[in-house]
């Protein structure tokens, strides 16, 4: 985020603090419970949101040098990300073209991959390099039997991939005006500290919902982040399908004691971005969190949180510092947010209500779900609905 925008947002948030208000939507929004439990909608989301459009699958820092790779399996699709000897990032289906076995596991350094089934060998560029008893496959051209390519672009310190083979895509168009802000973060210069995976019994959208309002801070997070952040207060902005929501730490008014040109906004806010449809980027203090959220049917979700830090944790003290940061963010969601979310998911099947309510003080929730419905070509749900 550029400094002039930091100053503008700091003043906006301080205005909300002084007025005791927050960003507001025009009306209350009633979201159908069926959005979270319908197998038909889950199938439509899988195709339209998770296969037909680019997704953020990793940070550049997760492929830290030439000849590195990362096997990605969060969406029940075997995907392989690589960075070749020239530094170019590519994506493939992690599937041997002989009999379909996986050719890579985990992450690390490699100049190529050997299928564990029959030892077909692929280069870091995905090309089929050699195969045992090559003469037995006369007429099966090696040039057409490399790993299946997926469209991939590395930009702004992030790796975008469309999980379906096809033509290239326009990242900046998908970001809807957020590109300059992401570029200003200089994420390409960050270091990957650690990633953590977990699975919960709730719909993927419900997992994202928990990041999109601070109305619950004083209740659910009374002993964890409520003492740090102003509750029920946030600055919301839409960027096409994407969004930004900024929460104010209680220290924010301290900026008034220093010249505006020196305002260090990251110390005093948490900025939550939704890179539509399923990536939550959280920017606060010196670090960035990437939350990748993938559906596992209607009632389960796979999360991966990746902590990116500005410099390597190369001392015991710095490693302990970042371990504490990771532990705090995991404690908040795993002991407070997600257990409540699992209860909500169960309640959706009780028949207690046909819709849930997003208040005017929850504009980010309203925008996210409007964009979901628009992407699926579902009718709008605004207006009074009997429940």
Helix (H) or strand (E) holding 184: helix 179-185
CB neighbours of residue 149 within 10 Å: 14
3-class DSSP state of 109: strand
Burial of 164 (0-12, 13-18, 19+ CB in 10 A): middle
Per-residue pLDDT tens for 319-335? 999 999 999 889 999 99
Residue 385 scores a pLDDT above 50: no
Per-residue pLDDT tens for 59-107? 999 999 999 999 999 888 999 999 999 999 999 999 999 999 999 999 9
Q: What is the mean pLDDT of residues 48-67?
A: 97
Residue 387 scores a pLDDT above 70: no
Q: What is the mean pLDDT of residues 281-295?
A: 95
β-strands 89-93, 107-109: how paired?
unpaired
Residue 386 scores a pLDDT above 60: no
Residue 382 scores a pLDDT above 90: no
Model-level pTM? 0.95
Q: pLDDT confidence of 199, banded at 50, 70, 90?
A: very high
Q: What is the mean pLDDT of residues 285-289?
A: 93
CA distances from 88 to 94, 146, 162, 171, 192 (A): 18, 17, 17, 17, 18
Q: 202 and 219 in contact (C-beta within 8 Å)? A: no
Residue where the block lists tokens 């002039």: 4
Residue 3: per-residue pLDDT: 79
Residue 383 scores a pLDDT above 60: no
Per-residue pLDDT tens for 265-285? 989 999 999 999 999 999 988
Residue 310 scores a pLDDT above 90: yes
Q: 274 and 251 in contact (C-beta within 8 Å)? A: no
Residue 384 scores a pLDDT above 60: no
Residue 297: per-residue pLDDT: 92
Q: Which domains does the chain carry?
A: 3-53+176-375 (3.90.380.10), 56-168 (2.102.10.10)
- Mean pLDDT check: name the lowest of 1-15, 238-252, 299-313, 333-347: 1-15
- CA proximity to 120, closest of 139, 89, 146: 146
Mean pLDDT of the chain: 95
């Amino acid at each position: 985020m550029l400094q002039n925008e930091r100053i503008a947002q700091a003043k906006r948030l301080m205005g909300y603090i002084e007025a005791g208000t927050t960003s507001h939507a025009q009306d209350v929004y009633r979201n159908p419970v069926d959005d979270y439990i319908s197998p038909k909608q889950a199938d439509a989301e899988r195709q339209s949101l998770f296969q037909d459009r680019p997704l953020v699958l990793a940070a550049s820092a997760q492929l830290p040098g030439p000849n590195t790779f990362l096997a990605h399996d969060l969406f029940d699709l075997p995907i392989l990300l690589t960075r070749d000897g020239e530094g170019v990032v590519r994506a493939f289906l992690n599937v041997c073209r002989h009999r379909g076995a996986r050719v890579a596991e985990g992450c690390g350094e490699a100049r190529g991959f050997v299928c564990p089934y029959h030892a077909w060998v692929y280069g870091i560029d995905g090309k089929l390099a050699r195969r045992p008893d090559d003469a037995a496959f006369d007429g099966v051209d090696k040039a057409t039997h490399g790993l299946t390519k997926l469209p991939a672009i590395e930009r702004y310190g992030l790796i975008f991939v469309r999980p379906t083979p096809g033509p290239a895509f326009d990242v900046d168009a998908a970001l809807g005006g957020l590109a300059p802000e992401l570029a200003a973060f200089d994420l390409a210069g960050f270091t990957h500290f650690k990633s953590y995976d977990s699975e919960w019994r709730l719909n993927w959208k419900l997992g994202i919902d928990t990041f999109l309002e601070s109305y619950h801070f004083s209740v659910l997070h009374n002993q964890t982040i409520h003492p740090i952040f102003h509750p029920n207060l946030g600055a919301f902005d839409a960027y096409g399908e994407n969004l930004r929501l900024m929460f104010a730490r209680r220290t924010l008014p301290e900026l008034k004691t220093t010249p505006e040109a020196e305002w260090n906004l990251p110390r005093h806010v948490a900025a939550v971005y939704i890179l539509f449809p399923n990536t939550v980027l959280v920017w606060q203090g010196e670090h960035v969190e990437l939350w990748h959220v993938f559906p596992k049917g209607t009632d389960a979700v796979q999360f991966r949180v990746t902590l990116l830090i500005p410099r390597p944790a190369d001392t015991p003290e710095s490693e302990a510092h970042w371990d504490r940061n990771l532990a705090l963010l995991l404690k908040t969601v795993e002991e407070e947010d997600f257990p409540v979310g699992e209860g909500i998911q169960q309640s959706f099947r009780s028949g207690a209500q046909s819709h849930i309510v997003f208040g005017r003080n929850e504009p980010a929730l309203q925008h996210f779900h409007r964009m979901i419905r628009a992407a699926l070509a579902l009718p709008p749900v605004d207006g009074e609905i009997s429940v």
